[in-house]
Structure 1
Amino acid sequence: MKNVWDCMVIGAGQSGLAVGYHLKKRGWNYWILEASSQAAGSWPRYYESLTLFSPAGFSSLPGLRFPGEPDRYPTRDEVITYLTHYAKHFELNVATNKKVTNITKEGKLFLVETESEKWAAKTVIAATGAFAHPYIPDLEGLHQFKGRILHSSEYKNTEEFEGKRVVVVGGGNSAVQIAYELAKVAHVTITTRRPLSFIPQTFFGKDLHFWLRVTGIDKASFAKHLGTRVSVLDTGIYRKAIADKKPELRTLFQAFYEEGVYWEDEHEPIDGVIFATGFRANVPYLQSLPQALDSEGGPIHEKGISSNIRGLGYVGLSGQRSLSSSTIRGVGRDAEYVIKRLTKEKESLGTLQGV
């Protein structure tokens, strides 16, 4: 390795692209390494009917407005198109089909390994975010169940579930959206540990995100943990659908058995279960860095700056600095902050050569 890069960015989704924008703006030498074949992060793997929970006018990365009517809610495919266009528009240094397998430190430099290469860098920003490592709770009997089990990140459309008996586990936006869609073609129950909580999508004719912005809550550090509370943004259609039992709502079942689930007062055969139970931080490539991760594999950091590893930063983590940290509207602010904090580390290394 002869080249030493100022920064290696892991992941070319919304977080990595926002980082790339600010790195290029500051004249850093960098690469964004993306495991897949396009600069769109996890979006191509989401279900087909997914729409952004924020309007287009509140869903832009830095420097480039999301196109179209600002009050509409962009579809999954529109987001993919926007992200890939963003990378090309700013001519960001994205290397696709480069899955990072391990990161270590040799002296003061990071060594970033893919399956066939090694890259040397003064700093590293992990931008694989919080939406690429699905979490499925280990409920009693799960491994005995013979029906279909999948995470919401694997769900694509209703086709394979038509006429089936399906249980959706979870109480957030994705769980309710999927259950609502499936209830049109299948017998569906959405099941949660706690009662569903609904938040109106609009107040006084304005989308919730308008009020989050004008009040400053969207950027405020005190509100960063609000994003971890499970609530459903609703124009009224979901609350009504559940009142009509399409889908029906029940408290989480007690356990699985081979053919189905045990409810509190009965057992019932089911065909499949969809877990809309969220994600965990997706940073397995940092396991070789001592004290970078906690016992559960999550980053140890303060506002996106590693607490123990100099030169290591994060963008795209839930609650990283604000309520919007893991969203398309918020990653740009966090990217700028992290890069400013890492600048001193980069400059202190001067013109170090590769190893």
Structure 2
Amino acid sequence: MKHVDVVVIGGGQSGLAAAGALREQGVTPVVLEASGQAAGSWPDFYDSLTLFSPARFSSLPGLPFGGDGDRYPHRDEVVAYLAHYADHLGVEIRTRARVEAVESDSGGFIVRTNDGRVITAAGVVAATGAFANPLRPTFPGQEGFTGELLHVADYRSPKPYAGKRVVIVGGGNSAVQVGYELADAAEVTLASRAPIYLLPQVREGKDIHHWLTSTGFDQLPPQWLVHVVGGTLVLDAGRYRRALESASLKRRPMFTALDGDAVAWADGTREAVDVVLLATGYRPSLEYLRPLGALDADGAPLHSGGISTTHPGLVYLGLEFQRSFASNTLRGVGRDADYVIPPLAAHVRKAPAAAGL
């Protein structure tokens, strides 16, 4: 058994931001990453994924992304950047160390990993994101559906879908980006409950993230945006609007049921489809906190701004809308780390040291 100051669970962008902020506070973290590299979920995203924010706005604290600041980095560039950031931190990162359970201990927490190791810690940062827990809603008639029912987490490239009829459920960035890409190889319809709200990527010659940052909008609580807009905003350089207006990419109100080899649309028509692809988001991947009693009945963390309301010394990073609508992004997680890590560091400094082997 080993004792450490803080265990950071997750070695992606959120966990690395946490480790960097802890180091700045003079606290020694150990980062536990379930995969074989400190890059979080990025290596598993679809092949064509690019950031929606330019490189200059997509850095973690203390290390610029590098290269042309106006480009939109590709998935593989992000993976390489995160690996570089991990090396830059100079903290202990253990890969292939999946956390199975976190339990309460008189001196803080007991962290158990899949290889049987036990670590005690005064503090825990839960930074595992949500990619491992895709939201897969169920639909009337789903059991009898003869087509493929997949989540966008399973999607990599258009090749397997060539010539097929595909319905994508969702109206957010991922749904539109994947739908646009697929439309060159397949017949694609977006099915969403609300209209698709396209936000111009560039205004007055500058990327929208320049304006989000310079106005302070990026740091506002997200609730008002949903209230005013009524749906999810999709960043668009113009190609998505052209595709939707030309009907090369179609959008229809959400279907009411799956019916054999088809979907039943709200207008009463029935359309045969080969694939229903869910771009329905994700839920926090935090089941390892269940033994601790830190989650509600639906598996959501009990917290305020990322600070646990049930256990002193437990904080979160990378939750969607944790403190702003940028909280689970490269550009936003550093600000949230600056909020949750100082009180965690103060808690750790006050905690009695525990002896360990």
With normalisation by structure 1, the TM-score equals 0.96
Checking the alignment, whether the CA contact within 8 Å between 1:167 and 1:273 is kept in structure 2 is yes
Equivalent residue number for residue 146 of structure 2: 146
Equivalent residue number for residue 110 of structure 2: 111
Checking the alignment, whether the CA contact within 8 Å between 1:130 and 1:326 is kept in structure 2 is no
Q: Does the alignment pair 1:30 with 2:32?
A: no
Q: Which deviates further from its counterpart, 141-150 or 272-281?
A: 141-150
Equivalent residue number for residue 160 of structure 1: 160
Residue type of the partner of 2:189? T
Equivalent residue number for residue 287 of structure 1: 290
Which deviations, in whole Å up to 9, do the C-alpha atoms of 1:189-215 show, x marking residues without a partner? 111111111111111111111001111
How far apart in 1 are the matches of 2:88 and 2:281? 32
**Alpha-carbon offset, residue 131 of structure 1:** 3.4
Checking the alignment, whether the CA contact within 8 Å between 2:103 and 2:291 is kept in structure 1 is yes
Q: Does the alignment pair 1:274 with 2:277?
A: yes
Equivalent residue number for residue 232 of structure 1: 234
**Alpha-carbon offset, residue 108 of structure 1:** 2.6
Checking the alignment, whether the CA contact within 8 Å between 1:99 and 1:114 is kept in structure 2 is yes
Which deviations, in whole Å up to 9, do the C-alpha atoms of 1:135-179 show, x marking residues without a partner? 011121223212111111110000100001111110001100111
**Alpha-carbon offset, residue 344 of structure 1:** 2.5
Equivalent residue number for residue 74 of structure 2: 75
How far apart in 2 are the matches of 1:269 and 1:247? 17
Equivalent residue number for residue 214 of structure 2: 214
Q: Percent identity?
A: 47
- Moved >6 Å (runs of 4+): none
Which deviations, in whole Å up to 9, do the C-alpha atoms of 1:24-65 show, x marking residues without a partner? 223322211000001111111111011000000100001100
Checking the alignment, whether the CA contact within 8 Å between 1:304 and 1:320 is kept in structure 2 is yes
Q: Which deviates further from its counterpart, 36-45 or 317-326?
A: 317-326
Note the residue ranges of structure 2 that are not aligned, 5 or more in a row: none
Equivalent residue number for residue 85 of structure 2: 86
**Residue of 241, 262, 265 corresponding to 2:268:** 265
Equivalent residue number for residue 251 of structure 2: 249
How far apart in 2 are the matches of 1:213 and 1:50? 23
Checking the alignment, whether the CA contact within 8 Å between 1:20 and 1:93 is kept in structure 2 is no
How far apart in 1 are the matches of 2:81 and 2:224? 28
Equivalent residue number for residue 43 of structure 1: 42
Equivalent residue number for residue 203 of structure 2: 203
**Alpha-carbon offset, residue 323 of structure 1:** 2.4
Residue type of the partner of 1:137? P
Query: For 1:8, what is the secondary structure of its paired residue?
Result: strand
How far apart in 2 are the matches of 1:230 and 1:55? 20
Q: Which deviates further from its counterpart, 24-33 or 48-57?
A: 24-33
Which deviations, in whole Å up to 9, do the C-alpha atoms of 1:213-239 show, x marking residues without a partner? 11111123x346638941110111101
Equivalent residue number for residue 137 of structure 2: 137
Q: Which deviates further from its counterpart, 8-17 or 27-36?
A: 27-36
**Alpha-carbon offset, residue 10 of structure 1:** 0.5
Equivalent residue number for residue 178 of structure 2: 178
How far apart in 2 are the matches of 1:246 and 1:140? 28
Give the aligned CA root-mean-square deviation in angstroms.
1.5
Shift of the 224–42 alpha-carbon distance from structure 1 to 2, 3 Å rule, reads farther
Which deviations, in whole Å up to 9, do the C-alpha atoms of 1:79-116 show, x marking residues without a partner? 11111111012223110000101110121320101112
Give the paired residue count: 352
Checking the alignment, whether the CA contact within 8 Å between 1:103 and 1:285 is kept in structure 2 is yes
Shift of the 225–309 alpha-carbon distance from structure 1 to 2, 3 Å rule, reads farther
Shift of the 224–250 alpha-carbon distance from structure 1 to 2, 3 Å rule, reads closer
Query: For 2:355, what is the secondary structure of its paired residue?
Result: coil
